Structure 1
Amino acid sequence: GHNIHAAYYGGTEPTGHPSDTWGWAVQGALQIKNIPTGPGDTINIQAVYTDGATRYNFQNLAPQGFAMYGGTGVPGAYQSVGLAAVADGIFGLGTGISKVQTWGMRGAFNHNWDPYWSSSLYGAYAQLKYGNGGTALLCGPGGALTGLVGAAGITTCNPDFNVAQLGLITRWTPVKGLTFSADVTYTHLDQKFVGLIAPAAQAGIAKPAAVYELKDQNTVSMLLRAQRNW
């Protein structure tokens, strides 16, 4: 179980806070060995469902909230952006906590080319849903996004999102305990907002104050790594 303990409704203790609630997660894993592609090759599969315990799915490597930017074809828009926020639950002034539900699965096939070289093809998919309660608290009257919807032109306010990934990593271990690797990952953010937003300048990432189209996003990244174990 995961205890969800919320902050205060206001800035001080006398404003009160919602009662604690409990989240939970269930997960399962399967590893297949002795497959005909080669000695030591494996297939690994994992699946998880969470209710108010989102980090068991998205885990700590994923930021709590993030934005992905890309191009746009909307006249007058500077760029497009995809928005996603990870939470265990949502509450508003005087309300209880509305829990967030997620599910996901990931898998990988690892192949050993020889004693020094190996590669893995992997993929993952995760879905997060705020439910009717959480969506209403964010998008409904008095919700956290109400002003944004009215002022910036969001025509569909839906904080749910899905993330899919596909990657390939190749490793070279010239001596025991020393591994060099190259990891290429494709990520697709399927977000549910529709319309336009006009946020303030984002100095940390050099994005200007402008109009942005809300849109699904894709990105490709490459990680080069050297690891030494003693």
Structure 2
Amino acid sequence: MIGFVRARRVGHPGDRTKRGTRGLLAGVAGLLSLPAEAAELPDRRKMPLAESLRVCSAYGQAFFFIPGTDTCLRLSGRTRFEYAYQPSLSRTGNNAGTTPGDYSGFQGRARINLDARTQTAYGALRSFIRLDTGSRTGFATMHAGALNRIGGAFPATGLDGFGRVQQQLTLDKAFVQFAGLTAGRASSFFDFYAHDFEFVVASLGSDIASTNLAAYTATFGQGFAATLSLEDPSFRHTPVYSAQNAVPRAVVDSGSLVFAQTNPVTPIFVGYDADGRPSGLGFVDTIQRNRMPDMVGVLRYDQPWGSAQLSGALHEVNHGLMDSAGFSGTHRGSPVTLANNRTPRAPSSAIGWAVQGGLKVNLPFIAAGDTLYLQAAYGEGTALYTGLPAYNGPWAQAASAVQGAAFSQFFNDGVINPFTNRLELTTSVSVTAALLHYWTPAVRSAVFGSYGALTFARGAREAQGAFFALTGTGPGTPGTRFFDLSQVLRDSYRFVVGANLIWSPVKEFDIGVEAIYTRYGPSSGRILDLGRFPSQGPAFVNNPANPVATADKVDAIQVRARVQRDF
């Protein structure tokens, strides 16, 4: 089912002019007939351009035959400039103020697409390649810290540039489609709306534009299709909760130091007194391994009025062994040993799952191109399937929407129970709506909004607090004021609303501006405002004579301007 894998772009629908493309195609055709293939290809220097560059109309506009082959190729791309302003203002309920940080962000991006198709007895054989590159600076949601964590970008190392200057070069797409098979690097089949109308990528919802997968799509006629996809779990991992880091360890390959790594670890009880009360502990490596692929299933229905999709996914959450580099603990005043400990369980895993329903409705009776999206998702151990961390920071244990914020949201898919060494999964839910409207053929705008909530397993926070007296890490000792106000593993919510306005004076050329407002906070109670007063440690907070600064929400506003040309 060619075309089921999305290769999204923002811009006017429609075909490109032949005249604007022909000169470029001539140069590409020259590159495609280098000396390695000269013996098999005709000498184009003796051929008229019309013969060496034949238009291929079987797959739409802007395709041409690669000289000497029956393969049709389309070359396209994009250039983009963006500037954004996000004040570091953190409104915190009973306190308000500004905190130092980056207010501005810049971004320059480029994209090249190659789409090659050959007709066979089994239908079209398609290969698609997309290369993305960019330079981003400024605050966290502009320079995309998540791309650093997954190896998709190169951060600056200079004192003034670290954490705010980033260069990116990624293989965004590279897949083959043939007779229902899709294999390679493509957008996750689970996704539906995936921020199609947005600049900032602020609303909630799954949006994994680049993952490695192998999928089969069966079409049943009348617009019905079903897909089963095995997908790389690496791009869906959010960290298992870690209370602290182990000592840094050096990773050596063939006698040479490759890199130094600090393993996140969390304590589990391995020593008990005569009455069975925990008195000693060790540390479990919480880094997730790739042990099984994500399994994604999709049912889809496409009609002239729009589309409907039901998606489901299974995703393994796991952790490693006892971490010997970071192992420590006591047992009635003595180190934990093989003689006095209780053997911990083997590394545990849990199967998370997610479901999502989406509806896309075309609204031509309002204006040509008008579209409404509605989407909802629910998951356990699958925050990146419901999209809760989309704006604040995917793949981070905890992140904030703005520098100097009162607190950070925790996005862990699982928490290890220190008494049982079992993983307890986190629940998340999100709902999203987006509407695109064309005021004129050259002027369009979108409005969008979403709400989501994340809830940790019942009792998980209290269990993590049980070792606070031994390690001084985690949410604090249950029953204390510090525990009640700590931001660690707090259930949270977030909502966002936004709108943009885009003018396209020429086809495939956009000038636009977008504004978003987002708020997040604890689902109940208040949290220590560490942006205003970072030195509120357990001893200070637990002293009832000391006043504390608290917050019940964080607000963020971002305005972003864009100039973009697609070709």
TM-score tier (shorter):
0.7 to 0.9
Match in the other structure for 1:85: 410
Match in the other structure for 1:76: none
Select which of 172, 184, 192 maps to 2:515. Answer: 184
Match in the other structure for 2:553: 216
8 A contact 2:345–2:421 mirrored in 1: no
Classify 1:109/1:155 alpha carbon distance in 2 versus 1 (closer, same or farther; 3 Å): same
Distance 1:156 1:226 in 2: 44
Match in the other structure for 1:5: 318
SS of match in other structure, 2:440: coil
Q: How far 1:147 sits from its partner (Å)? A: 5.9
Match in the other structure for 1:164: 495
Q: How far 1:135 sits from its partner (Å)? A: 2.7
| Residue identity in the other structure for 1:19 | S
Alignment of 1:6-45 (within 5 A): 6-12=319-325, 18-34=347-363, 36-45=365-374
TM-score (norm 2): 0.34
Match in the other structure for 1:75: none
Q: How far 1:173 sits from its partner (Å)? A: 1.8
Select which of 459, 463, 466 maps to 1:137. Answer: 463
What is the aligned-residue identity percentage?
A: 20
Match in the other structure for 2:439: 113
Classify 1:116/1:17 alpha carbon distance in 2 versus 1 (closer, same or farther; 3 Å): farther
Moved more, 39-48 or 14-23: 14-23
Alignment of 1:60-75 (within 5 A): 61-63=391-393, 64=396, 65-67=398-400
8 A contact 2:417–2:463 mirrored in 1: yes
Moved more, 103-112 or 88-97: 88-97
Deviations 1:2-34 (A, max 9, x none): 111214443559987631111111101101113
8 A contact 1:109–1:122 mirrored in 2: yes
SS of match in other structure, 2:451: strand
Q: How far 1:180 sits from its partner (Å)? A: 2.1
Classify 1:46/1:187 alpha carbon distance in 2 versus 1 (closer, same or farther; 3 Å): same
Classify 1:154/1:16 alpha carbon distance in 2 versus 1 (closer, same or farther; 3 Å): closer
Deviations 1:173-199 (A, max 9, x none): 2222222221100101121452536x6
Unaligned runs of 5+ in 1: 71-78
Q: Which has more radius of gyration?
A: 2
Deviations 1:23-63 (A, max 9, x none): 11110110111354322211111111111111111265541
Distance 1:145 1:99 in 2: 18
SS of match in other structure, 2:422: coil
| Residue identity in the other structure for 1:97 | L
SS of match in other structure, 1:145: coil
Deviations 1:141-172 (A, max 9, x none): 1262126985x735355610000001011112
Classify 1:46/1:141 alpha carbon distance in 2 versus 1 (closer, same or farther; 3 Å): same
8 A contact 2:466–2:477 mirrored in 1: no
8 A contact 2:391–2:401 mirrored in 1: no
Alignment of 1:38-57 (within 5 A): 38-57=367-386
8 A contact 2:402–2:556 mirrored in 1: no
8 A contact 1:89–1:134 mirrored in 2: no
| Residue identity in the other structure for 2:409 | A
8 A contact 1:153–1:195 mirrored in 2: no
Classify 1:218/1:145 alpha carbon distance in 2 versus 1 (closer, same or farther; 3 Å): same
Higher strand share: 1
| Residue identity in the other structure for 2:367 | G
SS of match in other structure, 1:155: helix
SS of match in other structure, 1:39: coil
Distance 2:408 2:433 in 1: 25
Distance 1:8 1:223 in 2: 45
| Residue identity in the other structure for 1:39 | A
SS of match in other structure, 2:458: helix
8 A contact 1:154–1:196 mirrored in 2: no
Distance 1:69 1:226 in 2: 24
**Highest RCO, 1 vs 2 (Cα 8 Å, sep ≥ 6):** 1
Select which of 138, 146, 167 maps to 2:476. Answer: 146
| Residue identity in the other structure for 2:505 | P
Distance 1:170 1:29 in 2: 24
Distance 2:444 2:559 in 1: 17
RMSD over aligned Cα, in angstroms? Answer: 3.1
Equivalent pairs, count: 213
Classify 1:90/1:147 alpha carbon distance in 2 versus 1 (closer, same or farther; 3 Å): same
Q: How far 1:69 sits from its partner (Å)? A: 6.9
Distance 1:69 1:34 in 2: 36
